[in-house]
Amino acid sequence: MANLNLLSATDAYRAIIAGETSSEELVQDCLDRISEVDDTVHAWANIDAEYVLEQAKASDKHRRSGAPIGPLQGIPVGIKDIFDTFDFPTQYGSPLHQDRKTTEDATVVAMLRQAGAVILGKTVTAEFACMSPGPTTNPHDAARTPGGSSSGSAAAVAAAMVPLALGTQTNGSIIRPAAYCGVVGYKPSFGLVSRHRVLKVSSNLDHVGVFARTIEDAALVAGSIIGFDARDLDTSIAPKPNLVASVSEEPPMPPRFAYIKGPAWDMCDSTTHSAFGELFDAMGDRVEEVDLGPVYDEVFEWHRIIMEADMAKNMADDYQRGAEQMSPMLLEMIERGRKVHAVDYNLALDRIDMFAKAFAPMFEEFDAVITPAATGEAPVGLDSTGNPACSTLWTFAGMPTMTLPLLEGEAGMPLGVQLVSARGDDARLFRNASWLTKYLEEL
């Protein structure tokens, strides 16, 4: 089999299990692709080709032994460089942590290994998973940003260097780069995935999520990392949703979607306005526009208060010992966070559950929300990761979201469609994403 790096993770897994190919061959094709394009894309912070091939050979040996195998057996995965890994440095995109090494994996990395995955390497992150970009470029146009902060993960999947990758989102760091790079990005409900031994930006807002090239692949990898972890007290003890089954499950009735422009609509460009207008028209009676009114416009301020105050706390040691090695953008956020009043912080925290619960009645009538994933196509220039405003409300409320690469802008760049479900209803999000994709393909 040739060009194995182009296979979906699901198809690659089936081929490996059937003995039609091997993890070693798959990983070698991914490494070859990295050698071919990463001098331009710059998606990877750390890779050790020899070591990765050893992992793949060990996976093949395990499979041939007849021992039980995992749902990701032999499949390579990229890891955003804020997840601890015992075998690769974890440097947070900052010179303050250059060559930082740990002896333990983050919980989700350990779960990937248990599922049989091969850890291909660490992908580039924006500095401290915030707004100051790393060197990564957009695979569709090297003059444009790939988004951030999970820039390397999104770009690596989009450029067929790896089929799957982990990312995180505190504001728009999964949904926006997935939209800019034209891949599937999934941010789970708050508390569904452990963040133990992942860089803490804001424990109130941080989510671990995934990048893939298909919805089924996103379900495959996400299903392998969902679960309660006593070391992250925000994780839920509720039963795990079967995301893979949800992708192929037919809804009991054709779903209805609420089309919500949201508080970021005025920040969206004319290309996004026209593209979503055409999408709305094409969907006919399957979609209905819902106006949230101005009540949610304050979400940007409440989100900023929580995130920056939490950053000031969590990055206090780095700020004290190395502020001069931080970007001006990061310093500004930390210094604003140090000035947040306790009453404002607690009022903002109160609004998280308030906002999430306010959507409950809407999901009794509609199956999911459709809304833009980003304010437009990936902007030209590499000095910014773009505007995360289209994700802020849903991240703040802890609701599950997914970017689908269904539209294209005037410049030929991807435009993502963001789906949102009720908090805790991730399985229905996958079912509706699969249904919507098929529905639009048939139009």
Which is the catalytic residue, given 22, 153, 173, 434?
173
Cα angle: 176, vertex 178, 182; to 5 degrees? 125
Please say if 59 is a catalytic residue: no
Cβ(386)–Cβ(180) under 8 Å? Answer: yes
Written as one string, the DSSP assignment of 112-143 is HHHTT-EEEEEE---GGGSSS--S--BTTBTT
Can you tell me the distance from the alpha carbon of 90 to that of 83, in angstroms, rounded to the nearest whole number?
7
Catalytic residue among 59, 132, 149, 153: 149
- Picking from 272, 273, 218, the residue whose alpha carbon sits closest to that of residue 413 is 272
Distances (CA, A) of 9 to 28, 29, 76, 110, 182: 15, 13, 9, 19, 17
DSSP string, 380-414: B-SS-----HHHHHHHHTT--EEEEEEEE-TTS-E
149 is known as an active-site residue: yes
> Per DSSP, what are the bridge partners of residue 417?
372, 404
Give me Rg for the CA atoms of the chain. 20
The CA distance from 429 to 421, in Å, is: 6
236 is catalytic: no
Tokens, residue 433 = 């994403």
* 12 within 8 A of 4, measured Cβ to Cβ: yes
Query: How buried is residue 313: exposed, middle or buried, by Cβ count under 10 Å (0-12/13-18/19+)?
Result: middle
Query: Is the bond into 246 cis (omega within 30 degrees of 0)?
Result: no
Q: How far is 166 from 222, CA to CA, in rounded Å? A: 9
Whole-number Å distance between alpha carbons of 276 and 202: 32
- Which residue among the candidates 22, 23, 80, 150 is catalytic per the annotation? 80
Any idea which residue has 């309660």 for tokens?
228
Catalytic residue set: 80, 149, 173
